[in-house]
């Protein structure tokens, strides 16, 4: 396993729509291990393959931050099939380090997700997991969370991000 570099805001690879994952391979299994390792090293809840430059419809989520292996989820070609309720809370992104903003997301999300063996199943997430589902699937569709804000706020955030990037 290895930690991979995370692409940051402004990299055009973050704006692409991801390609569906085909047959599961040992290379994909290694990629998933690297993604969990990278998310943990960067202190993130989740990571989408495009964030490490891999244009696949694949993401990992671990709301326990490595504490509970049973909470590790792999999203393969996920699709949101249902959203319920609303939650408002802070959100950040490994591709936009140092920026956290309050964002509205569904309280509960139901996904159609493919398993490694190719079968499909439903996964339901509430609270932080629902937020993570939405956030990672946005990445798979080429969208960053800052795009939910208007152009003026987005410019302010971009300037703040660029300033922080220069000073680090």
Residues at the annotated binding site? 93, 135, 139
Cα 130 to Cα 110: distance, rounded to the nearest angstrom = 8
What one-character-per-residue DSSP string does 39-62 give? HHHTT-SEEEGGGGT--BSEEEEE
Contact 3, 155 (CB under 8 A): no
Q: Is 136 a catalytic residue?
A: yes
The binding site for Fe cation consists of 93, 135, 139
Candidate list 42, 126, 136, 147, residue with the active-site label: 136
Tokens 């997991």 belong to 129
Catalytic residues: 136
């Amino acid at each position: 396993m290895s930690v991979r570099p995370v692409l940051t805001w402004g990299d055009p690879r973050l704006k692409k729509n991801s390609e569906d994952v085909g047959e599961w391979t040992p290379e994909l299994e290694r990629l998933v291990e690297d993604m969990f390792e990278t998310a943990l090293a960067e202190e993130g809840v989740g990571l989408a393959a495009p964030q490490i430059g891999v244009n696949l419809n694949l993401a990992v989520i671990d709301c326990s931050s490595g504490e509970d292996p049973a909470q590790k989820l792999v999203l393969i070609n996920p699709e949101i099939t249902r959203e319920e309720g609303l939650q408002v809370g802070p959100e950040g992104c490994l591709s936009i380090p140092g920026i956290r903003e309050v964002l509205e997301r569904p309280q509960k999300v139901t996904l159609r997700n493919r398993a490694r063996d190719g079968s499909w199943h439903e996964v339901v997430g509430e609270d932080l997991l629902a937020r993570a589902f939405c956030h990672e699937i946005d990445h798979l569709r080429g969208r960053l969370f800052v795009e939910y804000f208007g152009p003026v706020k987005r410019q302010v955030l971009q300037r703040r991000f660029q300033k922080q990037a220069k000073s680090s």
